[in-house]
Chains A and B, each alone.
Chain A
Amino acid sequence: MTGELLLIGLAGVLASAGPVVFASIGETITERAGITNLSMNGMILLSAMGSFAVALATKSMIFGFLAGAAIGAAVSAIVALSSVTLGRSQVAVGFVLALLCRDLSYFLGNPIMGLPGPRLTIAPIPWLQDAPVLGPLLFRQDIMTYASFALIVLAWLFVNKTRPGLVLRGLGERPAAAHARGANVARQRYLYTIVGGAIAGLAGPMYSLSIKAGWKGTITGLDGIGWIALAITIFGGWSPIRAALGAYLFALLQWLGLVLQPGLPGIPSQVLQVAPFPLMILTLLFVNMGSAEWVESFLARLPERPRRAVARFLRAVNVKPPAALGTPFEKD
């Protein structure tokens, strides 16, 4: 493979990771506030279908993308209502919504199935696109891919360097302390669940109006993406930058699967398509294993040198969720 082809391939990886970047950063923000939004998989399908329908009807890309964000926000609002106000299990409501939104997208999307529709075009940035290597890689993308780059930086800055970001972290770590310092925990959790949902909702139109343009019902090939995004949120250790790295790693592996497939005859394409899922389990295993008891006792029996190396590796990848994730907050 020549260098130019490789660059085009990698630029494609950056673009195809875009929706997963949006989804996992949206979920990261929500979970940082202490709420797990498990509806992601159905939500992305519904926003993909809905935004395609809106873009078709209004002939406007902007309305299409706005519809995607609105659908994500609306579904997430149900999660917030049920857990913050009504004290229901976040897992139960999230899972029901994941299935319900999926079926809703197939049912409502039936009339627009297979219709030709608008597609986001590439918007090269003048001057920068001619830079060697980085030009074709970063600056010949569509506007939403640029937005995904910006989102990584902005989300990281917001969470780690701003005052509201500090409050956000407090909501997920020690809501009682955040409350004592004057934060309205319930209202803020609503806010970040809905904002995170709106960001994640943009993943839908990024597929249906760009990467996998159109709506093809059950064979659209988006079913499962939301679950991957949720796993990447954990893999990312609830940090926007690590989450984005996870999304790029995922897209890279998918691309490698496509590139290498001709070299692996005898493996049906359906089998390669599911390769991300065992990888998801393995990565979750790596990032959680450091906390397991048997790993510690096993490590203790290793000789000094490998033990240090393994322990350092496990500590480096180990992640800890926000302390109050998934638990309701009752102020007395």
Chain B
Amino acid sequence: MRSDRTAKALFQAAAVVAALGITTLVLAATGAPPFAAYANIAKGAAGNWTVASDVVVAWVPLLLVTSGLLVTFTVGLWNIGIEGQITIGAVFATWALRSCQGAEVSPALAIALAFAAGMAGGALWAMLVGALKTFGGVNEIFGGLGLNYVATAINIWLIFGPWKRPGVASMSGTLPFDQKLWLPTLNPQSRLAPVAALLAIVSIAAIFVLLRGTRFGLKLKATGKNPRAAYLLGVPTWQYMMASFAICGALAGAAGAVQVTAVYHRLIPSISSGYGYLGLMVAMLVNYSAAMAAPIALFFAALNVGSIQLPIVLKLDSALSGVIQGTIVLFVILGEGVRSTLAARKKGRTS
């Protein structure tokens, strides 16, 4: 058992090294200086306090969606619709703030309402995927993907239609909210809101406990491992699937609300910023367990923020961060496959 765990860790380390080797080759193939690129990413993610706090700003929504995805993965669901759930969460949060702006509502209450609305919106959008799957037989991957595009369309329609800036609508989004309604940040220049960071940490901790130590979590696991057996043992499986969609959607909606209240202070076309898909990658990399989610999400957030300067400094596309992330996840999955295949072969020989 112990040597099994060591072998696992060794293969993971080897997979990460191999992945970095491949990305280095990709960089070299484009004629770019690979080490200058890596140094630039490191500097862009940890070079000074501003960029380091930007990493935390990216980490918060990423960790929120990853927490949610751990729940849907536990039930064996691929919630690819998570991008749309972030977007609809942001839309609902914006709607709540717009409604509060004219009324006599204290800023704290308005922000709380925005988060509640965002979480409700995300949960609704996720349960729509669940309903399509449960009652319509539409695989959650395609239902979710389709609804992602629909969510983007709703968002853009609002920005260019009913919620457009006075004068001319533009891709820069809606008019910013009253400064009173911004989630308080460390200092006026920073976009890092301690409350949002706290929310993300509480979420991942809560999900860790939920999946580890509660009956509810146990039933979710049973549903994921063998829905038929779980159903026969008295777990209402489709209700548990819907509940997991709702939890995941609510956390995605919270991520959308963070983007609106703390980061952009308005609704913008690409409000989900790809955090949903990135969260799926993080969840796969941590092998669907909550313990390592926070540090891995921090690493991925650092890659994202660190590569922002690449186009300016080195004339490289910032998609490099996605290439590094994707290659690492792919190699870790393949590495684990090689390890377990070799282990099975060895066992077959000795027995």
Contacts and interface: CB of A to CB of B under 8 A. Distances in A.
B330 A100 contact: yes
B30 A108 contact: yes
B309 interface: no
Given A107-B323, A110-B317, A292-B135, A93 B149 contact: no
Contacts of B341: 85-87
B160 interface: yes
Interface stretch (A5-13, A21-29, A116-124, A226-234): A226-234
A278 B284 CA distance: 28
B34 interface: no
Given A274-B149, A277-B149, A285-B138, A268 B156 contact: yes
A103 B322 contact: yes
A294 to B, nearest CB: 6
Given A107-B320, A289-B136, A281 B143 contact: yes
Contacts of A86: 334, 337-338, 340-341
Contacts of B138: 281, 284-285, 288
A271 B153 CA distance: 5
B228 to A, nearest CB: 15
Contact of B136 (A92, A100, A292): A292
A234 B139 CA distance: 10
A104 interface: yes
B132 A285 contact: yes
A78 B326 CA distance: 14
B146 interface: yes
Contacts of A106: 317, 319, 322
Given A99-B281, A284-B139, 20 more contacts: A82-B337, A86-B337, A88-B337, A100-B322, A103-B322, A106-B322, A107-B316, A109-B317, A110-B316, A224-B149, A268-B157, A270-B152, A278-B146, A280-B146, A281-B132, A281-B143, A281-B147, A284-B138, A285-B137, A288-B136
7 contacts: A93-B334, A95-B280, A96-B284, A234-B142, A278-B150, A280-B142, A281-B142
Interface of A: 38, 78, 81-82, 85-88, 91-93, 95-97, 99-100, 102-104, 106-111, 217, 224, 227, 230-231, 234, 266-268, 270-271, 273-274, 277-278, 280-281, 284-285, 288-289, 291-292, 294
